[in-house]
Amino acid sequence: MEAKFHIPVLLNESVDGLAIGSKGVYIDATFGGGGHSEKILETLGKGTLLAFDQDVDTLHNIINDDRLIFIQHNFRFLKNFLRYHGFEQVDGILADLGVSSHDFDVPDRGFSFRFDGKLDMRMNQSAKITAAQIVNEYDESALIKIFQEFGELPNARKTASVIVAARKSERIETTQQFCRVIEPLVPKKAANKYMAQVFQALRIEVNQELEVLKSFLMDAVDVLKPGGRLVVISYHSLEDRLVKNLIQKGDFTGEIEKDFFGNIQSKFKPIGKKVIVPSDEEIARNPRARSAKLRIAEKA
């Protein structure tokens, strides 16, 4: 296999969390550079691993192994492709929700404010909506909503207003054009955090990440066998909140659902009392792991 695009985060902890059986069926919902899949296959014995990824760049990383079925689609189609390949239920599902290091480091993908490139941000490069279209064509109220909900920006209204005013002069097509537009709003003491929040908001909207995650998690409830494991690595509070609420309370909103006897109606039992985070040593090796949170649950 070629050099990986993405240094796998919490590798041992996440794969151990699957509690792999030698003849089981498992899913790597976010194949990326193949690091987690490679580790799963080391343990799998005669089982089967189905790996999903919509990004064509990941084709360079496919592992030559008869036990691997690679599916070049978004994990929101999990249930359909399982049935297509003859599986109704599986023993474990792993999802690393982070954008790959490769995508951040390729300027033309537009994920990073550190480089100049097209204002794109599509994980699926055949998708229609780009970040440039959002910035140039969404009305001001829609932009406010995106920056409030997905970027959690305290000055979402001002950010949207500045963008709408700037695009009247010229279309905003590149990441550096966009950075220059919002530069007057960037707080000097928290510049990187602010820019990361702005870019995160656009990326989530482009890829419909939260709706896709909800769909995936609900499918996971259906396709996991009783006792099967769900392992999810998230990188920001919006993702982690959805995962945490579903595991602990049985609902995305955090509203606790109880049965007639007062028992919480969750399909999952959390494994471990606390969320798992990277060690200082891992963060030193891979700074992009800093915000990662790992949650493991077992289907009841």
Q: What is the pLDDT of residues 51-66, one digit of tens each?
A: 999 988 888 889 999 9
Q: What does the pLDDT read at residue 107?
A: 58
Q: What does the pLDDT read at residue 21?
A: 95
Cβ atoms of residues 54 and 126 within 8 Å: no
Q: What does the pLDDT read at residue 36?
A: 97
Q: What does the pLDDT read at residue 7?
A: 81
179: closest CA among 202, 157, 146?
202
Give the number of other Cβ atoms within 10 Å of residue 125's Cβ: 12
Please give the domain boundaries of the chain with CATH numbers for all domains: 11-101+209-299 (3.40.50.150), 110-207 (1.10.150.170)
Residues in the chain: 300
Q: What is the pLDDT of residues 108-147, one digit of tens each?
A: 676 777 778 899 999 888 888 999 999 999 999 999 999 9
Q: What does the pLDDT read at residue 125?
A: 83
**Residue 239 CA: distances (Å) to CA of 162, 164, 264:** 28, 28, 22
Q: What does the pLDDT read at residue 35?
A: 94
- Those residues of the chain that have pLDDT short of 70 are 1-6, 100-108, 110, 257-262, 264
Q: What does the pLDDT read at residue 260?
A: 65
pTM of the model: 0.91
In this structure, the strands spanning 25-28 and 90-96 are parallel
63/41 Cα distance (integer angstroms): 10
**Residue 169 CA: distances (Å) to CA of 102, 135, 137, 165:** 33, 13, 14, 8
**Residue 200 CA: distances (Å) to CA of 113, 192, 209, 244, 291:** 11, 12, 10, 20, 13
